[in-house]
A and B are shown apart, each in its own frame.
Chain A
């Protein structure tokens, strides 16, 4: 159990984190969510399940992932010392595998051999396809056609891994619409199918399950930074789309009240442009609502219709956010800001050229916030950035945007 968060007081039995969360789905799915909740608690109480998960995390995913001291980046910025939690070094190149592995083991335990998943950037799709291949499950990934076009390498990887990639042409043709289609598939095939949801959102128990499987990030990082820097960080920074890498990092530091927890949303072309995915930054359109089964902050128009979002990074291009983040913000335990497309691209370039690490565009948003903050902080202060994924998948986009 040491490498997984479990038994946290949140959420409550109905899946609420304060006033956020819950289960707003059609009746057909309620029994499936009840079954999943029961199976999850049973599995987590079974030492054999936990041992299998930890064993595969060590021998297949490659955990623990290291924490790297970013010496040249820190020196360049001239302030705080920056450390990177290297989820980019996990198998498949992002933190998504932690949750995909946990849920796939759960699916197998529940006797559900058909997996449906949604994906934005393709990282969760690749992770789902990977663990399905590992465990002999039949994997179907819904992906918006806009995202298919901008994340071609991941589409091919999923196919190579034996998954079926199903293009989604409804709505904005991005992550939001892929989730709609995955839920429609699940509601149709609910008796045989496990919905492998990739972020800390959706109806209860998903936000809890995803958080618990991702909590390994923060648990490891907390030990590693103490070993490396001799103390805990002053600031933890992570990007927030649905928010799974951020919640996975934050949880281990939640009770350290002196440590600032900062989530970075996608500022797109800037908040005033309206072309962004910053749910917390724009009170005119980002307000509490219900989307995809959970009550959280949602980008919506005056009539409650969900707005299309924009981000250079497909993984952050989503109009809602995990309910626990809404709670952490409201309770002022975490603080949320944003980085624009341009800031993220510049951060990607700077990290590549100072540290030899090409981050995913999503993770580059977190790096951008570290770049903004570090110069004003003292040299003995510490920033821990969750480098949630690697940038190989984004090279097409980056080549178009950065002229080298």
Chain B
């Protein structure tokens, strides 16, 4: 079993990822990539290529028919994945296959709640852990509704990531920090996923406010990040960053484009 070649799993693997990046004085890079785009094999090849570029971790996208937090790029890609017959089971197969191919980085399953509910929360947490996933990110699950999922994740040692946004009050920052395990996904702006030309001007101030109320839970920034220039600004500010729509656009052009973009974002200093 390839999983045995990983010394840590679940929350421990996520913690080790941040520890390593911190020791290297940089923010961890966690690309998002949806299973099944443009095809199932393509998505595995893209993730494997990024792993070889030493990215720090992955958000493994599971498709949903109604992705209301996503912009046009991810909407179109996950729609294509659905047309390719991608299911929750198939996404777990993909993780298992990636572990078998030697991918060692933390992988967090990212998908909307309904397909996970339909699969069964306990069963999903169990099977995700068994497949080699380390955590779970559900954009339409705020902490107030998170208890049922949190219990299943705790049983399996999986991280359960919650979100913070520019609209979150200081009280909510503290609430989310108490409930999030693994890290907090910080949404950089009010809006949906998608590449933007510029990071928001208030970013530094916003992150400092979160840091003041979030204790030492790692903060990972996402939404709108697509270029090495943007990534450079994030070292020393946040513990990690995510690029999603940009990876998907590269994925449409092929594995080489994904590899190039992953390399440039990982090495931007």
Contacts and interface: CB of A to CB of B under 8 A. Distances in A.
Contacts of B89: 303
B107 interface: no
B167 A28 contact: yes
Interface in B140-196: 140-142, 144-145, 162-169, 172, 176, 187, 190-192
B66 A291 contact: yes
11 contacts: A27-B168, A28-B167, A30-B142, A184-B192, A190-B167, A190-B190, A289-B117, A290-B113, A293-B140, A303-B87, A303-B118
A14 B166 CA distance: 23
A398 interface: no
Interface string A25-56: 11111111000000000000000000000000
A292 B187 contact: no
Contact of A180 (B68, B88, B142, B168): B68
A176 interface: yes
Find the residue from A25, A32, A300, A304 having the highest chain B CB count within 10 A: A304
Contacts of B141: 24
Q: Which size bracket describes the interface of A in this complex?
A: 35 or more
Contacts of A177: 66
A291 B114 contact: yes
Interface of B: 63-69, 71, 75, 79, 82, 87-89, 113-119, 139-142, 144-145, 162-169, 172, 176, 187, 190-192
Contact of A26 (B69, B116, B119, B144): B69
A31 B167 contact: yes
When A and B form their complex, which 10 residue pairs have the shortest distance between CB atoms, in order from nearest?
A: A304-B118, A304-B115, A27-B163, A28-B165, A188-B191, A303-B87, A305-B65, A306-B65, A31-B167, A304-B114
A24 B113 contact: yes
A289 B116 CA distance: 10
B139 A26 contact: yes
A171 B68 CA distance: 12
Given A28-B167, A302-B118, A304-B114, A171 B192 contact: no
Find the residue from A22, A25, A290 having the highest chain B CB count within 10 A: A290
A181 B139 CA distance: 16
B144 A23 contact: yes
A177 B4 CA distance: 44
A300 B118 contact: yes
Contacts of B187: 26-28
A298 interface: yes
Given A27-B168, A190-B167, A303-B88, A298 B190 contact: no
Contacts of A22: 144-145
Contacts of A189: 190
Interface in A185-202: 187-191
A27 B165 contact: yes
Contacts of A367: none
A30 B172 contact: yes
Given A22-B144, A24-B113, 5 more contacts: A25-B142, A26-B165, A28-B166, A31-B167, A170-B75
Contacts of A27: 142, 162-165, 167-168, 172, 176, 187
Contacts of A25: 68, 140, 142
Contacts of A26: 68-69, 139-140, 142, 163, 165, 187
B140 A304 contact: no
A136 B145 CA distance: 37
Nearest to B191: A188
Contacts of B79: 170
B56 to A, nearest CB: 23
Contacts of A291: 66, 114
Nearest to A298: B114
Nearest to B111: A304
Given A184-B192, A304-B117, A292 B167 contact: no
